[in-house]
Structure 1
Amino acid sequence: MPHDTSLYSGRPSDLIGKQIAGYRIEREVGRGGMAVVYRAKDLRLDRTVALKLLAPELARNDTFRKRFTHESRVAAAIDHPHIVPVFEAGETDGVLYIAMRYVAGRDLRHLLDREGPLAIADATRIAIQVASALDAAHDHGLVHRDVKPGNILVAAGTDSDHPEHVYLTDFGLTKKSLSLTGFTTVGQFVGTLDYVAPEQISGRPVDGRCDVYSLACVVHETLTGRPPFQRDDDMALLWAHQYDQPPALTSQRPELAEPVDGVLAKALAKSPDDRYESCLAFVTALRAAATGVVAAGHAPTQVDMRAVGVPRHPGPVPEPPGWARPVFPGSAR
C-alpha cells in the first residue's frame, strides 16, 4: 500500500491546524527544495517547535531514511549554544520529520536582503558564532555541507556587545563525513550552488574543510552583498567554483584592510589542503587581518596573491554607484 504523501505535497494552508506525530501545525515559516518548515505546538510538552517535513521521495529511499534517522540522533546529541537543538526525528505517514527548537527572529538571508552588506565587525561577529557551531559538528564526525545564509538564524542578543545570537540549523540533513560523495543515493545534490565546495562538485570525499569553503562564501556575501561567484547558468557557476579565482574583497569594499583578501583567498582555495584546518581558524584570521591584531603565537597569514590569481589594486577602488555603508540593527560602532 503506497504511503500517503499529502502531508508534504498539499497546499500550505491544508496543514494548518492538523496534527502530525504529536505536533499541531500553526503556520508555515520556510520552504525549500527538500523540505517545508512549520511553526508547530508540541502537544505532549506544550511548547512551540520548528517542525521540518522532508520531501516524500526521500522517505522512500531506505538508505537515506536510515541515514537521516541516525544522523539526526547524532545532531541531537550535540549540545552547543549556536546549534539549533534537535528534539526528535522520525517518520509518519511516509514523510520524514524533524522537530527542533523554534527560534524567533529571521535568517541571515532575510537580513542581507533587507540591510545589504554588513560592517566587517558585524560580519565577523556572526561568522565566529557559525564557525564555532561547525567545528563542534566536525568534532562529532558531521559535516554540514549546506552552509548558506538561509541556514543561519539570527535572534536577538543579550546586550550591545552581543547584539545578536546566531544559530546554525539543518543538521538533520547533514551527511557523514569522509565516506560520502557530493550526491545522495536518490540523485540529489547536497549543497547550494552559490556556496558549494569544489570537492563536493567533483564527488570527492569531503571533511570539515568543505564547510570552511562554504562559510567563506557566506562571509564574502555578508561583506559585499553577493557570493564570490555569479554566473549566467548553473554549469558556469559549478565551473567557477572549481577553476576560477574569486574577486578580491577590497575591489568591492576598498575600505577593508588588504590582508583580508589573503584570508578569503586561503579559505576559498580549490584544494582542501590549501585551506584553513578549521572554521574558527579561518574566522580568527579574518578578524586579525581586519583589525591588524595578530593572535599571540601566530604569524600573520601570508598568501601570494599572484599565485592564487587574485588581482592586486594599486590604489583605492571607487565605491559602486549607490553603495552605502549599512547600519546593522543593535550593533555597536
Structure 2
Amino acid sequence: MPGERPEPPSLAAAEPGELDGRTLAGYRLEHVLGRGGMAVVYRAEDLRLGRTVAVKLLAPELTRNETFRKRFVRESHIAASLDHPNIVPVYDAGEVEGVLYLAMRYVRGRDLRALLDREGPLTGAQTVRIAVQVASALDAAHAHDLVHRDVKPGNVLIAEGTDPDHPEHAYLTDFGLTKKSLSLTGLTSVGQFVGTLDYVAPEQISGRPVDGRCDVYSLGCVVFEMLTGSPPYRRDDDLALLWAHLNDPPPDVRERRAELPAEVGAVLERAMAKRRDDRYGSCLEFVAALRSAAEVRSAPPVVPSASREAVRVVHWRDRPPAPPLSPPPPPAWARPVFEP
C-alpha cells in the first residue's frame, strides 16, 4: 500500500550494501570492510558488549551444503580455542537466517596486501619481523591439526606495534575456513578450491592430502613477494600459473633483488620445494633459517695495512642495533591530577 516501507531483502538474497544497519545474531552491521568469492566482511557493533567487531558472512550456497555447514561450525569452534597473540580471536560462529557467520576481533590497521601495494618491497628486517609472527600463528594452528591452506597477504592484518623494536603487530585471519589436516583433499566438499593461486601448494592443486608443510610453501611465496613486490610465479592465465606451481623450479629471488644474500635464495627455494618432504618441517623452522640467511655478514674488505685502522666499511646488514630509546613520557591520563 502507498506509504508502506518495502520489506528488507532476506539476508541470503541481499547485496552487501543493502545490509548496512541490519542486526543479526546480536551484531549491528555498519559497513563493508571487504569481500571475496566466498564471503563478505562487515564492521559491526556487538550490541551485548558494546564493542566493535568484524563479522564475516559466508556465501549462501555454502550454507546450503550440510557437510560444509557442519565442518564450518566445528572448525570455527576449534579456531576460537586458539589463544595466540598473532591469530585474530574468534568470538562467535553460527548460522542466522540461512547464512553462516563468524564474529571476530576488529583489527585497526590494514592488511599486508594493502601495505605491499602502497610501499612495494619491504626491507629484509621488516619481512622477517612479519614472517616470524605469521609462522608462529601457523605452527600454533598446526599443533591443533588445523591447516590454514590460504596463506596470502590479504589474510595477514598489520596493526600498530608496541614499541620501536616491534613497530608492527601481525595477525593471521580466516581460520574459520580452514581444513583438518591429513583428512581432506585439495577440494572442498562442495567442489570449491581452497587457496589463492599465487600462493597455492602443489599438493593442493593435485588434490593430494595436505599437512602443515602446505602452509610452509604458501608462506614462502608470501615472503618472496614481501622481498620483491610480486609473487614468485607471474603468468598470463590461471592454468599456466597452476602449471608453474606444479612443475617450474622456484625462481631465484636475487634475479629480482640482487642485493639480497645468496643464502636467502636457498632458504626460499627449500620452502617452495615441489615435494613437501623437501621443505622445512615447520613454519618457524623456515623463518629461523630465513633470519639467519638475512643476517649473513659479508667478508670484510681488504685494505692496505697502513690505512686498515682508519678505514672501516660497514654494510647495511652489519650495522649495530640502535641504542635503546628512553621510555616515552606517560600519557595525559596517567599524570597526577594535582600539580604541586
Where on the TM-score scale, by shorter chain, does this alignment land: which range? 0.7 to 0.9
**2: distance between equivalents of 1:153 and 1:173?**
16
Change over 3 Å in CA distance of 1:173–1:36 after alignment to 2: same
**1: distance between equivalents of 2:266 and 2:280?**
12
**2: distance between equivalents of 1:251 and 1:79?**
40
* SS state at 1:69 partner: helix
* SS state at 1:17 partner: coil
**1: distance between equivalents of 2:158 and 2:9?**
32
Correspondence for 1:180? 184
Q: Note the 1:6-155 alignment, pairs <5 A.
A: 6-155=10-159
Kindly state the Cα deviation for residue 230 of structure 1 after the two structures are TM-superposed: 1.0
**1: distance between equivalents of 2:197 and 2:44?**
30
Letter paired with 1:201: I
Correspondence for 2:258? 254
Change over 3 Å in CA distance of 1:58–1:292 after alignment to 2: same
Question: Once superposed, which parts of structure 1, at least 4 consecutive aligned residues long, lie more than 4 Å away?
Answer: none
* SS state at 2:254 partner: helix
Letter paired with 1:119: T
Could you tell me which runs of 5 or more consecutive residues in structure 2 were left unpaired when the two chains were aligned. 1-7, 298-323, 325-340
1:202 aligns with 2:206: yes
**1: distance between equivalents of 2:142 and 2:192?**
23
Correspondence for 2:170? 166
| Identical columns (%) | 71
* SS state at 2:11 partner: helix
Aligned Cα RMSD in Å?
1.4
Summarize deviations over 1:55-80 as a string: whole Å, max 9, x none.
00100000000000000000000100
Letter paired with 1:179: S
**2: distance between equivalents of 1:10 and 1:94?**
12
**1: distance between equivalents of 2:10 and 2:110?**
28
Kindly state the Cα deviation for residue 9 of structure 1 after the two structures are TM-superposed: 4.5
Letter paired with 1:206: V
Correspondence for 2:294? 290
Letter paired with 1:209: R
1:213 aligns with 2:217: yes
Letter paired with 1:92: V
**2: distance between equivalents of 1:125 and 1:10?**
41
Structure number, greater radius of gyration: 2
Correspondence for 1:231? 235
8 Å CA contact retained: 2:270, 2:278: yes
* SS state at 1:216 partner: helix
8 Å CA contact retained: 2:12, 2:98: no
Summarize deviations over 1:35-71 as a string: whole Å, max 9, x none.
0000000111111110000000100000000000000
Letter paired with 2:214: C
**2: distance between equivalents of 1:186 and 1:136?**
28
8 Å CA contact retained: 2:127, 2:223: yes
Of the three residues 207, 211, 226, the one matched with 1:222 is: 226
Kindly state the Cα deviation for residue 246 of structure 1 after the two structures are TM-superposed: 1.9
8 Å CA contact retained: 1:30, 1:36: yes
Letter paired with 1:21: A
**2: distance between equivalents of 1:11 and 1:211?**
33
Letter paired with 2:14: G
Summarize deviations over 1:100-148 as a string: whole Å, max 9, x none.
0000000000000000000010011100000000000000110000000
**1: distance between equivalents of 2:189 and 2:11?**
23
Letter paired with 2:213: R
**1: distance between equivalents of 2:178 and 2:160?**
26
Letter paired with 1:141: D
1:241 aligns with 2:240: no
Aligned residues: 291
TM-score (norm 1): 0.86
Kindly state the Cα deviation for residue 13 of structure 1 after the two structures are TM-superposed: 2.5
TM-score (norm 2): 0.84
* SS state at 1:41 partner: strand
Kindly state the Cα deviation for residue 81 of structure 1 after the two structures are TM-superposed: 0.1
Could you tell me which runs of 5 or more consecutive residues in structure 1 were left unpaired when the two chains were aligned. 294-331
Of the three residues 191, 196, 200, the one matched with 2:195 is: 191
Which structure's relative contact order is higher, taking Cα pairs within 8 Å and 6+ residues apart? 1
Q: Note the 1:316-327 alignment, pairs <5 A.
A: none
Letter paired with 1:130: V
Correspondence for 1:326? none
